[in-house]
């Protein structure tokens, strides 16, 4: 078999195949409050990822025996649309979906004041419409905005971003190609103001130096995303602020 010429994902000048620098995020677009029925909702485009997040609650739990006596039960469903990837994905939840639903939910536990609403549930629904690597992080970024949009009290927004190793270099925000061909992927979720890491996973291989470097780079990415999230929340209300000030003058 003739050996295929391996095309590098990152070139000698440290430019990635999609033109990004090593520590550059993909373009991110965030929108808040875009679904009619959900109590809170948000939409994210990060590179080719297109993800919707909707939040319902706090509300009475069904089935009732799932109610927790001292706090609200957070529930999360991460789900990929069958057409979101190259080869059609079965709509039944895969083992990956179930694991991601769990770790995403746990990424929000430190953020939500669940103790304010015992015996209720807060349901987070995530629909990945198109996937191109890093969907769990983009989902968290969007779902955090949906929680804020629902008026649920939060300690901080949760921002998420992955770092990893591709062609021997530590890079930020891997897309699908980089994730598949790279040596390591380390998704991380972070509450910037409280300096708390709420999701951390990794697969691949990293030396201790690379590991530390990757974590720091991912945190940097989270901080950038945090600013975008704040802007997105404010964009929806910036008009409100201006006119309410006018209103105050009138009074």
Partner 1 sequence: MPVFYERRQLVTPGDLLADNNYLAGENTFKENGKIYATHTGLVNYENRNIYVMALRSFYAPLVGDTVIGKVVEVILSGWIIDVKAPYLAMLRASDVLERSFRPQIDDLPSMFDVGDIIIAKIVASDRTRGPLLTVREPGLGKITRGQITEITPTKIPRLIGKKGSMITTIKKEVGCQILVGQNGLVLVSGKSPKDERLAIMAIHKIEREAHTSGLTDRVAEMIKTEKHEKTEVRRKDAQEKSQKSG
Partner 2 sequence: MTSPVVARMKQKRMADLISLGKRLDERGLTDYREAQIEIGVIEKAEGSARVRLGKTEVLVGIKIGLGEPFSDVPNQGVLTVNAELVPLASPTFEPGPPGEDAIELARVVDRGIRESKAIDLEKLCITPGKKVFIVFIDLYVLNYDGNLIDASALAALAALLNTKVFNYEVKEGEVQIKPGYKSLPIRNYPIAVTFAKINDKLVVDPCLEEEQVMETRLTMTIEKDEKVCALQKSGKGYFRIQQILEAAKIARQKAAELRKLVVKK
Site for partner 2 in 159-178 (CB under 8 A): none
d(CA 88, CA 180): 18
d(CA 66, CA 6): 52
Which positions lie near partner 1, rule CB under 8 A? 33, 39-40, 57-60, 113, 116-120, 148-157, 191-194, 229-230, 233-234, 237-241, 243-248, 250-251
**DSSP H or E stretch at residue 249:** helix 208-250
Cβ contacts of 195-199, under 8 Å, gap ≥ 24: 196/110, 196/156, 198/106, 198/107, 198/108, 198/109, 198/110, 198/111, 198/158, 199/103, 199/104, 199/106, 199/107, 199/136, 199/140, 199/160
Which is nearer to partner 1, 29 or 234 (by Cβ)? Answer: 234
Query: Does 102 sit near partner 2 (CB under 8 A)?
Result: yes
Query: Does 65 sit near partner 2 (CB under 8 A)?
Result: no
Which is nearer to partner 1, 11 or 193 (by Cβ)? Answer: 193
Which is nearer to partner 1, 83 or 116 (by Cβ)? Answer: 116
Query: Does 119 sit near partner 2 (CB under 8 A)?
Result: no
Task: Report the interface residues with partner 2, using CB under 8 A.
Answer: 68-70, 95-96, 98-99, 101-103, 106, 109-110, 186, 191, 194-208, 211-212, 215-216, 219
């Amino acid at each position: 078999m003739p050996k295929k010429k391996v095309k590098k994902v990152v070139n000698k000048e440290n430019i990635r195949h999609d033109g990004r620098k090593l520590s550059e995020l993909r373009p991110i677009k965030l929108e808040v409050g875009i679904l009619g029925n959900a109590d809170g909702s948000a939409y994210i485009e990060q590179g080719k990822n297109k993800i919707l997040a909707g939040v319902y609650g706090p509300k009475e739990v069904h089935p009732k025996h799932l109610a927790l006596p001292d706090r609200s039960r957070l529930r999360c469903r991460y789900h990929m649309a069958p057409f979101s990837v190259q080869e059609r994905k079965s709509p039944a939840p895969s083992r990956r979906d179930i694991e991601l639903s769990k770790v995403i939910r746990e990424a929000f536990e430190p953020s939500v004041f669940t103790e304010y609403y015992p015996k209720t549930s807060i349901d987070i629904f995530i629909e990945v419409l198109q996937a191109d690597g890093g969907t769990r992080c983009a989902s968290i970024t969007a779902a955090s905005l949906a929680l804020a949009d629902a008026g649920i009290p939060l300690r901080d927004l949760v921002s998420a971003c992955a770092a990893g190793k591709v062609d021997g270099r530590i890079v930020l925000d891997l897309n699908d190609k980089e994730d598949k061909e790279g040596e390591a992927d380390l998704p991380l979720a972070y509450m910037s103001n409280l300096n708390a890491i709420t999701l951390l996973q990794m697969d691949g291989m990293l030396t201790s130096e690379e590991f530390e470097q990757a974590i720091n780079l991912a945190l940097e990415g989270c901080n950038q995303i945090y600013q975008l999230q704040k802007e997105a929340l404010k964009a929806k209300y910036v008009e409100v602020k201006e006119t309410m000030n006018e209103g105050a003058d009138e009074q």
